[in-house]
Amino acid sequence: MLLSKPDFKFFKQKSETIDLSPQIIEGRKRLLKEPVEPVDLGRVKSIGDLVDAWKSGGIQSRSLAECAIVYENMLTDKDRPTIFLGLSGALIAGGLRKVISTLVRKGLVDAIVSTGAILYQDYYTALGYRHYKGTPNADDEKLHDLYIDRIYDAYVDEVGFVECDDRISEFCSNLKPKRYSTREFLFKLGLTLNDKDSILYSASKAGIPIFCPAIADSSIGIGLAGYYRWANDNKVRTFTIDTLKDNVEIAQIVLASKKTAAIYVGGGVPKNYINDAAVMLDYTKGHAYAFQITADAPHWGGLTGSTLDEAKSWGKVSKAATRATVYAEATIALPLIVGYVLQKCLAKNRSRVRYSWGEGTLTMRHKNA
């Protein structure tokens, strides 16, 4: 049986409706200029190569590469922006402790705002305790009976946590009875450690300030509560943690900086605190650079998923800011971005910040690496 000849008249009519006027041709040229290039794994020999390839890719791979580009601009800007790093989420349980302490040691960040949980688990690890591979499908009631705590697919030793709480309480008993910002408290706590992979230890040795505005909402807070109870029972004069002192100190850093930049790993209190620092004493500047790694979405209305454009409306991110967002899980995205800047040696000539803190005063100097 012979098939009839196909009739393409319908499609011809469709093509005749396309109007390629000079204006449309010009518009098409502007937009159809950079093709998406497939990743050639045969040419990828390093993290830097992979991120470079993603610059011509799509979806979240390109978004991650854009974050890496923003970080590169932060580190190479001749005005030497002060870089704030916000940390939230289960980053220590997820294996990022050395990545973060490397950022400190290599001079890739200048100040940190963190949740108390991250700092506590860093302290726990510095004392010789470990996180262990587990499963999110564990029998949690059985874990409780065994004094094992679960953080998604990792286990931690509750007996070790109790011992860490006691160590923090003991540390507190040796502090002078005065007002401390969380920066001052954490600096002193970091000096009690001896672990180059520790975030607290590395920051204290490098003089990099760590702020923890929600310190009470953590196991560090549990250790502090144990100390306060002991002091009350024994009628011992106590020191106080003054988080409003933190506000003044972080605002002083912003005011003393020609430019500021922000890296948000997750969201929550650290993200908001770094944003607030930009407008606490000066509403006009905003962060000149910002990138964020988040697994949340903006349409829920929460801070963690909020866009950096939204932050412009508050003056927290500059109108002219170089910015990017990657929607990804931090244990995947952060090592790739940090690996990129390390392999490119982008901080090789970047000066280090030296902070001189007085009572209500701050002097910032820069020293060549």
pLDDT, residue 360, reads: 81
pLDDT of 59 > 70? The answer is: yes
Banded model confidence at residue 359, pLDDT cuts 50, 70, 90: confident
Please report whether residue 227 resides in a domain. Answer: no
Interhelix angle 182-191/243-256, nearest 10 degrees: 90
Q: What element of type H or E holds 18?
A: none
pLDDT, residue 18, reads: 83
Q: Would you say 247 and 254 are in contact if contact means Cβ atoms under 8 Å apart?
A: no
pLDDT of 347 > 90? The answer is: no
CA atoms within 13 A of residue 3's CA, in its CB half-sphere: 3
Q: Which range, of 45-49, 268-272, 359-363, averages the lowest pLDDT?
A: 359-363
pLDDT, residue 192, reads: 97
Q: pTM to 2 decimals? A: 0.93
Number of domains in the chain: 1
Please report whether residue 99 resides in a domain. Answer: yes
Please report whether residue 327 resides in a domain. Answer: yes
CATH at 263: 3.40.910.10
Please report whether residue 22 resides in a domain. Answer: no
Higher pLDDT, 340 or 369: 340
pLDDT of 239 > 90? The answer is: yes
pLDDT of 103 > 90? The answer is: yes
CA dihedral in degrees (204, 207, 213, 218; nearest 10)?
-10
Q: Is 174 left (phi over 0), alpha (psi -120 to 50) or beta?
A: alpha
Mean pLDDT for the stretch of residues 48-52: 97
Q: How far is CA 114 from CA 92, 122, 183, 297, in A?
A: 12, 11, 11, 21
Pairing of strands 82-87, 210-211: unpaired
Q: Would you say 328 and 337 are in contact if contact means Cβ atoms under 8 Å apart?
A: no
Beta strands in the chain (DSSP E): 82-87, 111-114, 131-133, 148-151, 154-157, 179-180, 210-211, 240-241, 260-265, 287-294, 317-327, 352-357, 362-367
Report d(CA 339, CA 316) in Å as an integer: 28
Question: Strands across the sheet with 111-114, in order?
Answer: 210-211, 111-114, 82-87, 260-265, 287-294, 317-327
pLDDT, residue 79, reads: 95
Mean pLDDT for the stretch of residues 299-311: 93
pLDDT of 315 > 80? The answer is: yes
pLDDT, residue 367, reads: 84
Q: What is the C-alpha R_g of the chain?
A: 25
- List all residues 6 or more positions away from 21 whose beta carbon is below 8 Å from its beta carbon: none
Mean pLDDT for the stretch of residues 75-86: 97
Report d(CA 102, CA 116) in Å as an integer: 19
pLDDT, residue 254, reads: 95
3-state SS, residue 231: helix
Burial label, 290 (beta-carbon count in 10 A; 0-12, 13-18, 19+): buried
| Residues 10-38 pLDDT 10s | 666 666 778 889 999 999 999 999 999 99
| Residues 138-195 pLDDT 10s | 999 999 999 999 999 999 999 999 999 999 999 999 999 999 999 999 999 999 999 9
pLDDT of 269 > 90? The answer is: yes
Burial label, 245 (beta-carbon count in 10 A; 0-12, 13-18, 19+): middle
Determine the structural domain holding residue 253 and report its residue range.
43-133+179-215+242-367
Please report whether residue 268 resides in a domain. Answer: yes
- Over the chain, what is the mean pLDDT? 94
pLDDT, residue 235, reads: 93
Please report whether residue 127 resides in a domain. Answer: yes
The position carrying tokens 């250790």 is 223
Q: Would you say 73 and 322 are in contact if contact means Cβ atoms under 8 Å apart?
A: yes
Q: Which range, of 47-51, 113-117, 129-133, 361-365, averages the lowest pLDDT?
A: 361-365
What are the catalytic residues? Answer: 316
pLDDT of 1 > 60? The answer is: no
Please report whether residue 200 resides in a domain. Answer: yes
DSSP 3: P
Please report whether residue 126 resides in a domain. Answer: yes
Higher pLDDT, 281 or 302: 302
